[in-house]
Amino acid sequence: MEFQGESIDMIESDNVGPGQAFAHFIVMEELIDKLTILNYDQEFVKDLKMKSLSRHYFAIQTNPGEQFYLFASLAGWLIRKCGKSFEQPQEYDDPNSIISNIFDILRSLNINVNFPPSRIKQGFGEHVIYILDQLADEAIKILNIKWSHPELVKEVEEAVEEIEDEAELILEKVEEEMATFFCDDDDDESAINLEDLRNIQIFKDFQENQQKPEEILKSNVTSEEWLVELERVLPQLKVTIKTDSRDWRNHLEQMQKFNSSIEEVLPVTKSQLDKLHGDITNSLAKISTREKHINSQLEPLLINFRNNQDELSKLTELYKNANEKMTEKSKVLTQITEELEHIKKEMEERGASMTDGAPLINIKKAIAKIKNEIIELDVKIGVFENEILQQKLKDKTFYQQDIDSPTFILS
């Protein structure tokens, strides 16, 4: 699939079908196939000790930092496959410089890149897949890898001969009834007779060694007749198996079978576990490296943070003390303000009374009234004194007359 810059613009437009938004998933799957052709499993994953990519690794967002690092590493490997010199990116390199170098090489290879570098910095999406797909196509072209037509192998269809003799059906039914019998009965009644089992095995071997017919047998018996016959012979097919002291032989055979199965599965499982162990070891090494790098970068910041935290605690304590003092001062200020308001009110009242002339006029009127009353009282007092004086003169005249009279003298 050719994933050119024009197709990217089509995806971003609103006039395309809804399936076009998922086209980069298909391109990602084709990219994995192209990388497999370029032997990326050996040269990229194992030699460079990189993580193996899934079918839709760059199509969806998982871990942007890890995705961008794998994109830069894979792009550098493909650029070197194209015959260009490109230094292997490191995990802590500047992303902008890496993207700039990749864009320069893409332009030198006449690959259209008409989108901003910020689309690449996120480490996933259609633009990332587009760049890797174009580089893979260029590498395949330079390495002169040609596609050949598929070779169709004619498969010989072998006729499957299904032979179901009456004896085989009876034997299978016997085995099913034996299993049902062991599950339903008690332990004391489920006795195992190894001699009966040996006879069954001999009979089974005899049936297998019989010459099979060359044509498929066809039965004319209906299913209802089969069921009737089965119900008739079913009670006779039950086998009573008794215990035998030689039961350990079955256990030994089972152990040998299990041992052979384990030996068959062990190499494949061991290789898978070794690969998983290697991946886990590489991941742990990367995690340890990142942890050390992050710790080295965060150490001065942590020291600065602790110092700032201590200073913040001191400032918080000072703020609490200042806040308590401010509360006390606020209470004092409130009291002083209340007293000041009271004094202002008294001053206003006194000022109003001092500037008001009505009381003075009232006082003057009262003084004039008092003076008039005093004058009237003086006049009354003069009248009373005059009357008293006249009365005294009268009394004195009468008294003198009495003295001069002869009666007063004789007495």
pLDDT at 257 over 70: yes
Residue 339 φ/ψ, nearest 5 degrees: -60, -40
Q: What is the mean pLDDT of residues 228-242?
A: 72
CA distances 263 to 267, 273, 275, Å, are 7, 15, 19
pLDDT digits (tens, 9 = 90+) for 262-316: 999 899 898 899 999 999 999 999 999 999 999 888 889 889 999 999 999 999 9
pLDDT digits over 42-63, tens only?
Answer: 888 877 778 778 888 888 888 8
Mean pLDDT of the region 79-104: 85
Task: Record the tokens describing residue 96, joined without a space.
Answer: 């902008």
Instruction: Work out the average pLDDT over 169-195.
Output: 49
Q: What are the residues whose beta carbons fall under 8 Å from the beta carbon of 57, sequence distance 6 or more?
A: 28, 67, 70
CATH of domain 22-143: 1.10.418
> Which of 14-28, 177-191, 329-343 ranks highest by mean pLDDT?
329-343
Q: pLDDT at position 348, please?
A: 86
Comparing 396 with 186, the larger pLDDT belongs to 396
Quick check: 16 pLDDT over 60? Answer: no
How sure is the predictor about 164, in pLDDT bands with cuts at 50, 70 and 90? very low
Q: At what angle do helices 23-37 and 5-12 cross, to 10 degrees?
A: 150
Confidence band, pLDDT 50/70/90 cuts, at residue 14: very low
Q: Do residues 86 and 101 lie in contact, with contact meaning Cβ atoms separated by under 8 Å?
A: yes
Question: Chain-wide mean pLDDT for the chain?
Answer: 77
In the chain, where the domains are located: 22-143, 251-356
Predicted confidence at residue 306, as pLDDT, reads 92
Asked whether the predicted pLDDT for residue 406 surpasses 60, the reply is yes
* pLDDT tens for each residue of 104-132: 888 888 888 888 888 888 888 888 888 88
How many other CB atoms are there within 10 angstroms of residue 77's CB atom?
21
C-alpha distance from residue 306 to each of 108, 319, 324 (Å):
51, 20, 27
Mean pLDDT, rounded, for 76-92: 84
Average pLDDT over residues 389-393: 89
Q: How confident is the model at residue 152 (pLDDT cuts 50, 70, 90)?
A: low
Q: What pLDDT was estimated at residue 359?
A: 74
Q: What is the pLDDT of residue 384?
A: 92
Average pLDDT over residues 245-254: 72
* Whether the predicted pLDDT of 17 surpasses 70: no
> Mean pLDDT, to the nearest integer, of 92-105?
86
More confident residue, 199 or 223: 223
pLDDT > 90? residue 374: yes
Q: Out of 148-152, 256-260, 345-349, 382-386, pick the least confident.
A: 148-152
